[in-house]
Amino acid sequence: MVGLPNNSNTCVLTQWHQLFADQGMARSVEACGHWQNVKRLGLPTCQHEHWKYTPLDRFLAHRFTPATNCTPSVSDRNSLSLTLNAYRLVLVNGYLSPSLSDNDTGLWQIEVEENGGRRLMPPPIQPEVFLHLTESLSQARLRIYLQPGKVEPRPLYLLHISQGSEDQETLSTLHYRHHINVGAGAQGQVIEHFTSLGSEGHFSGSRTSMVINDNATLSHIKLAFESRASYHFSHNDIRMNRCAVVRSSTFIIGPGLTRHQISAQLNGEEADLVINSLLLPSGRDISDTRTYVEHNKGSCLSRQLHKVIARDRGRGVFNGLIKVAKHASHTDAKMNNNNLILNRLAEVDTKPQLEIYSDDVKCSHGTTVGIIDKEQVFYLRSRGISLENAKKIIIYAFASEVTRAIDNESVSAAILTCISDSLEKVAT
């Protein structure tokens, strides 16, 4: 067992088992298998290498209960939603809300599987306990399909609205499970937006698997803008075939504790993958992001850029691994992690890794951790800019390398607004 068999862990597993048992006869064989893996793996502790910098004590101290029925109004939805020219689907506490969603989804084909579904989902690339937990507890799975050769210019916008409990010791528990299949030669964009109705705490589990077929293109954007009292654990899988193109960007600004993992397999020659992320931990937040990329065929390209802006006592964690298989010659892979620390007590822990089993490859990784450059501040102040605004300009410039990679101006503007709100009180 990964976790130590103490009374606290046993109590939490008992509560999770009750959530699983409450599903009754609706449980699928697949869900049962994932629950067995939850029991086998147990709860991780800081003594485990992959959880060394992400303590779960505060999270596990809560009492876990099923999310109650939540019925946001249209005005609630509009206030939480981004203004986009997109097809909008609204999910509330783990379930699709038809009354709040658009009837028209364009070329996107949507299928909802209630009670966990009966058709098997793709197996996980890098399984871990919270992935299995989401798979076992998710009740309404969303299958998203874009037919071969179709080009959908309008994005599919998935707005996830979660509501917590007023009892601070209780965590409403809810899980989202999506699967995206982009047919050969098709092109599309999917935006996942996670937000909270109110400031109460909740525990959100999220898992999205993606299959990008030959010559297909997918742009995927994830925005985790939930309340500070919430906890967000997610895992995305990307499987790419020949000449597939994927652009994946993740922005985590809000939840008090997040653990986001992206696993990718480049299974066809000349696949092209870009993974970017931006984390803004503040207060006592912990934002943990992990990537795992397998180059299984030759002549593939992958690029990664991950940035953390940590302030107050916030902690950012990055762990990335690029693995090049024996016959994946002519691989071109690069991973960079750049971090900006705004306060003396802020912290960043980073570990980029390469695992190469093939010759004739071009692979590199790098990481930087620094503070705001005083010479840059001096230059801006000499132009009549206040100290606080000078620091904000430098921070925005640091973040812009990631936001510029998004080809949707409305989403970029929303991210910059969130950054501005988060950094409203930059220490002088």
C-beta neighbour count of 11 within 10 angstroms = 13
The CA distance from 247 to 125, in Å, is 19
Which residues, including other chains, have CB under 8 Å from residue 294's CB and lie 6 or more apart? Answer: 125, 264, 265, 266, 323, 325
Which residues, including other chains, have CB under 8 Å from residue 295's CB and lie 6 or more apart? Answer: 266, 302, 322, 323, 324, 325, 328, 331, 333
- Exposed, middle or buried by CB within 10 Å (0-12, 13-18, 19+), for 169? exposed
Instruction: Output the six-digit token pair for 250.
Output: 């993740």
Which residues, including other chains, have CB under 8 Å from residue 107's CB and lie 6 or more apart? Answer: 146, 147, 150, 151, 152, 188
- What does the DSSP 8-state code read for residue 98? G
- Identify the pLDDT of residue 68: 81
Task: List the chain residues with pLDDT less than 70.
Answer: 1-8, 24-26, 115-118, 425-428
Question: Residue 129's Cα: distance from chain center in Å?
Answer: 16
Domain assignments of the chain as residue spans, ordered by start: 7-268, 372-428
Could you tell me the sign of the dihedral formed by the alpha carbons of 290, 127, 207, 331, in that order? positive
- Exposed, middle or buried by CB within 10 Å (0-12, 13-18, 19+), for 37? middle
Which pTM value belongs to this model?
A: 0.93
- Exposed, middle or buried by CB within 10 Å (0-12, 13-18, 19+), for 249? buried
The CA distance from 138 to 140, in Å, is 6
C-beta neighbour count of 226 within 10 angstroms = 27
- Identify the pLDDT of residue 409: 83
The CA distance from 41 to 132, in Å, is 10
- Identify the pLDDT of residue 428: 40
Whole-number Cα distances in Å, 349 to 199, 231, 340: 28, 20, 12
The alpha carbons of the chain give a radius of gyration, in whole angstroms, of 21
**Residue 263 contacts residue 237 (beta carbons within 8 Å):** yes
- Identify the pLDDT of residue 64: 93
- Identify the pLDDT of residue 117: 61
**Residue 202 contacts residue 163 (beta carbons within 8 Å):** yes
Q: How many residues does the chain have?
A: 428
- Identify the pLDDT of residue 7: 55
264 has which bridge partners?
238, 293
**Side chain identity at residue 224, one-letter code:** A
Could you tell me the sign of the dihedral formed by the alpha carbons of 224, 312, 339, 356, in that order? negative
**Side chain identity at residue 148, one-letter code:** P
C-beta neighbour count of 204 within 10 angstroms = 28
Tell me the angle at which helices 29-41 and 129-137 cross, rounded to the nearest 10 degrees.
150
